[in-house]
Amino acid sequence: MNKYFYDLHIHSCLSPCADDDMTPNDIAGMGNLLGLNIMALTDHNSCKNLPPFFKACERNGIIPIGGMELTTAEDIHLICLFPSLETALSFGRKVETLLLPIKNKPHIFGNQLITNDNDDIIGTEENLLLSSTALSVTEASAMALEFGGISYPAHIDREANGIISILGDIPPEPGFTCCEFNDTENIERYRQKYSSLSGLSVLSCSDAHRLGDINEAENFVIIDDEPYSASLVRKKFLEKIGKEVEK
């Protein structure tokens, strides 16, 4: 049994709202300096920087998780995480077909940079990744499950793109087992106000758009990791965060 310190909500330079220096290698290197063991890359509605992120994490001794911050038709942000790079990429290709076809305007929204293993820019995403998909919250959650992943509402204590500010509460239909808070000081107040939180585990992640925003090694889960492998830890981690999250 070992502690694994995590940050599961990080944006790379592919997300237009993130700094251009949020490259896969710089993100993984910062995670190493901060003492993180598990990091998830969750760009807006795309997984195209996951391959270099996985390699960068492996070079830095960090277990990578492939993910996405998906925007639903209601304009709600969901974190979707997957047990392998391949399933995450497949999910990303599916989401790409469901994203509203609006072209990015870099001078307004920011660059959407795709990199290689060396952080060289090899392309840009043309469609605006801040757009909504055609999926409802329930449909998005079900689709993540179909691809072997998990999903949960992001930053539920925020006005912008938070599920509670938009729907008034967390609906039972998607069957969420956990949720993410932007500010841990809001947890108790929200639990008292919204009974739907009583059965949910709570995650606290950075939603980092700049290198200095990435969480330090504070939040963790304890995992039985024998016989050790990165894929085993990743699988058990995803299973556990839906049940019990320790801080």
Rounded to whole angstroms, how far apart are CA atoms 26 and 29? 5
Beta bridge partners of 224: none
Give the pLDDT score at 243: 58
Q: Are 195 and 189 in contact (CB under 8 A)?
A: no
Rounded to whole angstroms, how far apart are CA atoms 105 and 91? 25
Q: Does pLDDT of 85 surpass 90?
A: yes
pTM: 0.94
Give the pLDDT score at 199: 84
- Geometric angle at alpha carbon 211, from 209 and 215, rounded to 5°: 85
Cα–Cα nearest to 206, from 57, 63, 75, 27: 27
State pLDDT tens for residues 153-179. 999 999 999 999 999 999 999 999 999
Beta bridge partners of 64: 39
Give the pLDDT score at 244: 44
Longest dimension (CA), the chain: 50
State pLDDT tens for residues 199-245. 898 999 999 999 999 999 999 999 988 888 888 999 898 988 765 44
Q: Does pLDDT of 131 surpass 80?
A: yes
Domains and their CATH numbers in the chain = 2-240 (3.20.20.140)
The sheet carrying 38-41 orders its strands as 150-153, 77-82, 63-71, 38-41, 2-10, 220-223
The lowest-confidence range among 28-32, 66-70, 121-125, 235-239 is 235-239
User: Percent of the chain beyond pLDDT 90?
Assistant: 86
Residue 228 per-residue DSSP state: P
Q: Does pLDDT of 6 surpass 90?
A: yes
